A = this chain, B = another copy of it.
Amino acid sequence: MPASYAYLGPEGTFTEVALRTLPEAATRELIPYVSVQSALDAVRVGEAEAAFVPIENSVEGGITATLDELVAGTPLMIYREVLLSITFALLVRPGTKLSDIKTVTAHPAAQPQVRNWLKTHLPDVVWESSASNADGARLVQEGRYDAAFAGEFAAARYGLEALETEIHDAENAQTRFVLVGRPARPAAPTGADKTSVVLWQRDDHPGGLRDLLGEFATRGINLMLLQSRPTGAGIGNYCFCVDAEGHISDRRMSEALMGLKRICLQVRYLGSYPRADIRPGEARPPFPGTSDEEFTGAADWVARCQDGRF
């Protein structure tokens, strides 16, 4: 097994910064790939131990390139998630003043986050998209553009300086990244975990999706993401990527997954892993009737009834 992590490159982007927040990243070789697909393929073919890719952000929702890779092909599994607040710095060559800036660049995904700032501070600037925020910084370094929106951390790498930092139109702009590997035993539950699955309905009828969600709801499990993705069988045919609060080793979750497995055409398990938005101990307690103790107590009671000891 190679001690390396693939990640969505290039170097110097928010993805790399997010990856480096994982302690285990310090002991791996980190290799940038040009696309989500190629990073995940590196895992599938054994070139990398795991791949680190964005999966959801507060502006775009689910990242479809990542979801579509997880939904199809050789099964993969989410090991970890990382949340990163996304704020931009305006990077310029040393000495450039705000009034000097005629052109700016960044990855198109940055645009919704900086639009208002631009309207206020640089209303007449010309925007050109670049392939990545890091690439935009490089193009500023090379003199092609006057300024780039990128993470502040990119300044040093490209010999630029930040004229402005903490630029973000939306409060709470965050991107969620996942570390994805080959199927393995899920990480031990921490008390604040998340489980990801993909669900395919058996057939299409009124209430079909409602009943799938009912498997979670009746066991007190909250959903954190529900993202439909085309199945490829034509327009209107969807599967559903679901993130649910809890760990597969929780009794309520394992019973919900069993229920889904029975009523769905197909269920793909994508892993159980610690939540990045809260710490262990901060998760709300199980709803009445859904704790492991209550599940175990109920199973014991049924066993006693089956034995005539009641």
> Which residues in A have some Cβ–Cβ distance to B below 8 Å?
56-62, 64, 75, 77, 83, 170-176, 183-186, 202, 204-207, 209-211, 213-230, 232-238, 240, 248-249, 254-255, 257-259, 261-263, 267, 269, 277, 287-290, 294-295, 297-299, 301-302, 305-310
Inter-subunit contact B172/A235 (CB<8 Å) = yes
Inter-subunit contact A206/B221 (CB<8 Å) = yes
Measured between beta carbons, the chain B residues less than 8 angstroms from A60 are 64, 230
Measured between beta carbons, the chain B residues less than 8 angstroms from A299 are 258
Q: Which 6 A-B pairs have the closest CB atoms?
A: A172-B234, A207-B217, A261-B298, A185-B308, A258-B298, A262-B289
CA distance A241 to B303 in the complex (A): 21
CA distance A4 to B170 in the complex (A): 35
Beta-carbon nearest neighbor of A182 in chain B = B308
Measured between beta carbons, the chain B residues less than 8 angstroms from A176 are 235
Inter-subunit contact B213/A174 (CB<8 Å) = no
A213-B209, A213-B213 are known contacts. Are A301 and B229 too (CB-CB below 8 A)?
A: no
Q: Can you give 20 contacting A-B residue pairs, CB < 8 Å? A: A60-B64, A60-B230, A62-B228, A171-B234, A183-B308, A183-B309, A183-B310, A206-B219, A206-B223, A207-B217, A209-B223, A210-B214, A215-B218, A225-B236, A226-B226, A226-B238, A226-B240, A257-B302, A261-B298, A261-B301
Inter-subunit contact A185/B59 (CB<8 Å) = no
Q: Closest CB of chain B to A181's CB: distance in Å?
A: 10
Can you add 6 more A-B contacts, CB < 8 Å, to A60-B64, A186-B305, A257-B302?
A59-B232, A61-B238, A185-B308, A249-B306, A258-B302, A262-B290
Q: Closest CB of chain B to A135's CB: distance in Å?
A: 15
Measured between beta carbons, the chain B residues less than 8 angstroms from A262 are 289-290, 294-295, 297-298
Instruction: Give the dominant DSSP class at A's interface.
Output: mixed
CA distance A207 to B214 in the complex (A): 7
Of the candidates A59, A236, A240, A254, the one having the most CB atoms from chain B within 10 angstroms of its own CB is A236
Of the candidates A56, A210, A290, A308, the one having the most CB atoms from chain B within 10 angstroms of its own CB is A210
CA distance A237 to B277 in the complex (A): 13
Inter-subunit contact B235/A185 (CB<8 Å) = no
A262-B290, A263-B289, A269-B310 are known contacts. Are A174 and B218 too (CB-CB below 8 A)?
A: no
Measured between beta carbons, the chain B residues less than 8 angstroms from A288 are 202, 263
Measured between beta carbons, the chain B residues less than 8 angstroms from A219 are 206
Inter-subunit contact A287/B206 (CB<8 Å) = yes
Beta-carbon nearest neighbor of A241 in chain B = B228
Inter-subunit contact A213/B216 (CB<8 Å) = no
CA distance A240 to B210 in the complex (A): 14
Beta-carbon nearest neighbor of A262 in chain B = B289
